[in-house]
Amino acid sequence: MIIRNSAQKFLFSFLFFFFIYSAEVIYARNNDTIAGELKQDGERVKKGLNFGALPAVAFDSDLGFQYGLLGNLFQYGDGSAYPDYRWSLYGEWSRTTKGSGINQLFFDSKYLLPHQIRITADFSFLTERALDFYGFNGYEAIYNPAFEDDTDTTNYISRVFYRHERKLARVTLDFQGKINQLPLRWLMGYGYFNTRIASVDIERLNKGRDEKDELPDVDGLYDKYVKWGIIPGEEADGGTHHFIKMGLVFDTRDNEANPNRGLWTELVVMTAPRFLGNSETAFTKLALTHRQYFTLKKEVLTFAYRLGWQGTINGETPFYMQPYMINTFTRTTKNDGLGGARSLRGILRNRIVGDAFAYGNFELRYKFLKFYRWKQNFYFSLNAFSDLGLITKEVVVDKDLSVNYPDYFDKEKGGLHSSYGAGLRIAMNQNFILAVDYGLSGDKRDGDNGLYINLGFLF
């Protein structure tokens, strides 16, 4: 049986978290200083460098054992901007014994460049031996868990039936600047994406297995979509894109890591124009995102929500770029949706893919414990959430097929996808935040549940 979002990941991460955290505290004692004054809420202002780290440890019966490390280095300078940092450098490196891997560096600073110009840069190379793929248009594409359940002797096809391989090299460089004295910023950026798609390498995943546990060498859903022409041949193996990003950001948050009040609204256009070499796959997407935060009890209870829409407004987006979620700031390694850790928690990753989609996230956040220890500010927070998603424009799919139509397509159009759950946050100095969320799908057609361990709040 495939182990997906398992409790083992949760257990491994917490055991290693405490081991690595003890080392982090020693580092902080030797390299961090205290500014000597208190904020109004009693929190001590931070100065200098501060570092936090977590292991990337998990297990999947098909992808193998995952091992690695992620860490975040913060420079607070003289502490005058705390809880803002002068700059932040995030890094993640991990591997699985079957060849999947994450390599990422993410840099962010509002103070490095003159004229209060913010620079955000991401350098990533991601290898995923079995990336989720469930077809297009939400409920119109049937998800049958029996196809990947090797205990179902009647319907089983493969544990990686809903998977394909992806290698992604990604470079993004974004700049934001203030417009007069308004809480308004302009955005300009560049992105390079080199995406390579292939069928799951069954031979590689079967190495070292007992014969009874081997994956069968059969077509997955991705292979069928290619053979049926739903995925065009010129897109099937991926491609390279150069993007220009432009937009406006309205931001009145009282702090960025975990706002208590304010608005954060974005309008972003991301285009892959022909003059940058995107001759075969030129397209443009528009993304609108609105977030708002309400203080229900000062420094204790906050209600927050996020509403978003994005869609293709020009050209034809290749299938492998449809799940990419566009925004002005994200340090997360895997920015795919809808479904999964960074969009609809509890729903299968990439379950809802369309040419345009809308989504909403609603959270109640409760800080139930704050304390100062080992020269660090800590707080613990619980959150209850509900997530929603909806396809607003479908990917065009020719379903005039002669075989097994009911196994793969449903005549139902649209439909709201929902999930709900709860989570825990453990924060150090407001910016390094261990996040644990457990979500339940509102409909079995979207899967059952998901357990996620990440850094930071979802929004």
Query: Token pair of 152, please?
Result: 């179902």
Domain span holding position 336: 7-455
- Structurally, the chain folds into a number of domains equal to 1
Whether 71 is covered by a domain: the verdict is: yes
Q: What is the reported pLDDT for 158?
A: 97
Tell whether the model's pLDDT for residue 26 goes beyond 50: no
Whether 106 is covered by a domain: the verdict is: yes
CA–CA separation, 415 and 169 (whole Å): 34
Q: What is the reported pLDDT for 47?
A: 93
Positive or negative, the CA dihedral 111, 112, 118, 124 is negative
Confidence category of residue 184, pLDDT binned at 50, 70, 90: very high
Tell whether the model's pLDDT for residue 338 goes beyond 60: yes
**pLDDT tens-place string over residues 103-121:** 999 999 999 999 989 999 9
Q: What value does the mean pLDDT take over residues 338-344?
A: 93
Q: Rounded to 5 degrees, what angle do the CA atoms 124, 285, 385 make?
A: 70
Q: What is the reported pLDDT for 14?
A: 47
Tell whether the model's pLDDT for residue 317 goes beyond 80: yes
DSSP state of 374: T
Tell whether the model's pLDDT for residue 59 goes beyond 80: no
Query: Token pair of 403, please?
Result: 């075989």
Q: Are strands 417-428 and 44-55 parallel, antiparallel or unpaired?
A: unpaired
Higher local confidence (pLDDT), 406 or 162: 162
Whether 359 is covered by a domain: the verdict is: yes
| Sequence-ordered strand ranges (E) for 31-149 | 32-38, 44-55, 58-60, 64-75, 87-96, 101-109, 118-132
Domain with residue 83: its CATH number is 2.40.160.50
Across-strand partners of 198? 165
Instruction: Determine the residue type at 67.
Output: Y
**pLDDT tens-place string over residues 274-297:** 999 887 789 999 999 999 999 999
Compute CA distances 289 → 128, 350, 387, whole Å: 28, 19, 15
Nearest to 130 by CA among 103, 162, 154: 162
Tell whether the model's pLDDT for residue 189 goes beyond 90: yes
Q: What is the reported pLDDT for 34?
A: 47
Higher local confidence (pLDDT), 183 or 402: 183
Whether 1 is covered by a domain: the verdict is: no
Q: Report the run of H or E that residue 459 belongs to, with start and end.
A: none
CA–CA separation, 445 and 164 (whole Å): 20
Q: Rounded to 5 degrees, what angle do the CA atoms 62, 68, 69 make?
A: 145
Q: What value does the mean pLDDT take over residues 7-12?
A: 44
Lowest-confidence range among 37-41, 43-47, 97-101, 371-375?
37-41
**pLDDT tens-place string over residues 393-449:** 999 987 766 567 788 998 877 799 999 999 999 999 999 999 999 999 999 999 999
Confidence category of residue 41, pLDDT binned at 50, 70, 90: low
Whether 170 is covered by a domain: the verdict is: yes
Whether 233 is covered by a domain: the verdict is: yes
Whether 2 is covered by a domain: the verdict is: no
